[in-house]
Amino acid sequence: MASAFVVPQAGHAAVSAVTRAPSATAVGRAEYGVALGSVLLLAARRMHRGADLRMHPRRMARRAVKEREDQKTLEKFWETVLANRPPRNEDTGPLTRLGSVLAYLLPLTDALRFGMFLFVSFPVIQPLLDLLVVPALFINGLPFGLGYLTLFITMQAVAANRQVPALLRYNLRQAITLNVFLVFMSLFGDALKILSGAAFGWPVPLDIAIGLSTGIYLLVTGCCLYSIACSLAGRYPRGLGPVSEAAELQLMDTQGDTFFVTFFKDKPEE
């Protein structure tokens, strides 16, 4: 049966570590001829680019055949792995949806530090801050940021459990990814302050700091609100681009996953 996806072939560095290539008689004449023709065409292209062609064409053909055999072996290995995965928990009941919503308390509360300028400028949105103050105080109850660290590790452990409903695992992973983004943005802001002071002798202009901070807050909060709305409807919030792709990867260890197959399906060989 033909594979549903094509695994990218290894490069020349990986091929050099493979054991001795089979002789020309070990493969059919037709297959060998096709491989030889493909390699000669590749050699002509590399000659046009000025590449080094010291390797004999027949040796290159044998190497190409070996690469194709390794390709098929790797495809069979992945097919076996995917076929042996446990079934996915497709529960989307009220408790699963509630847990999916609560998962976004981590990035929502962590993003508050980026939105203080917005809350000061627009008191009308103060009720949103009031809703998040209580969980933020609860998470910050432990000193040295241990509350966020404990919650982060717990969410990682639950998301890795294949018996947990897939919808909850998906949202946990997506919430974790959003929080990691906030951590990197915080580090970026600190580095920007240091570089600005060292290079120019003055801090980052307040207008720029307010604009960047508010933009980060609105972006993360918008992603969370979108994901919460989808979770309440029992749907996967797959509209966040790379963030959603990272969440999809979390579900690859159970049957029913289509992201892996779709990602590699009909991928052209290089």
Kindly state the average pLDDT of the residues 2-22: 38
At residue 168, the pLDDT reads 94
**Joined tokens for residue 113:** 């530090």
Q: What is the largest CA-CA distance in the chain?
A: 80
Question: What's the rounded Cα separation, in Å, for the pair 115 and 136?
Answer: 14
Q: Give residue-wise pLDDT tens across range 123-140.
A: 888 777 778 877 878 777
pLDDT for 178 equals 94
Give the pTM: 0.66
Percentages (nearest 5) of helix, strand, coil residues in the chain: 70, 0, 30
CA distances in angstroms from 148 to 1, 74, 108, 111, 244, listed in the order given: 48, 40, 12, 12, 22
Question: CB neighbours of 268 closer than 8 A, spacing ≥ 6?
Answer: 6
Listed in sequence order, the residues at least 6 apart from 124 whose beta carbon sits closer than 8 Å to its beta carbon are none
Per the prediction, the chain carries an average pLDDT of: 75
CB 147 within 8 A of CB 253: no
Report DSSP state, residue 141.
T
SS3 104: coil
Helix (H, G, I), strand (E, B) or coil at 230: helix
In the predicted structure, residue 26 carries a pLDDT above the cut 50 = no
Which of 165, 163, 172 has its CA nearest to residue 92? 165
Q: How far is CA 172 from the centre of its chain?
A: 14
CA–CA separation, 267 and 218 (whole Å): 36
Angle at 91 between CA 87 and CA 97, to 5 degrees: 140
Phi and psi based region of residue 256 (left: phi greater than 0; alpha: psi -120 to 50; beta: remaining): left
Note the pLDDT of residue 8.
39
Q: Which amino acid is at 149?
A: L
Which stretch of 26-40, 183-197, 207-221 has the lowest confidence by average pLDDT?
26-40
| Pairwise pLDDT comparison (245 vs 79), residue with the higher score | 245
Q: pLDDT class for 44, splitting at 50, 70, 90?
A: low
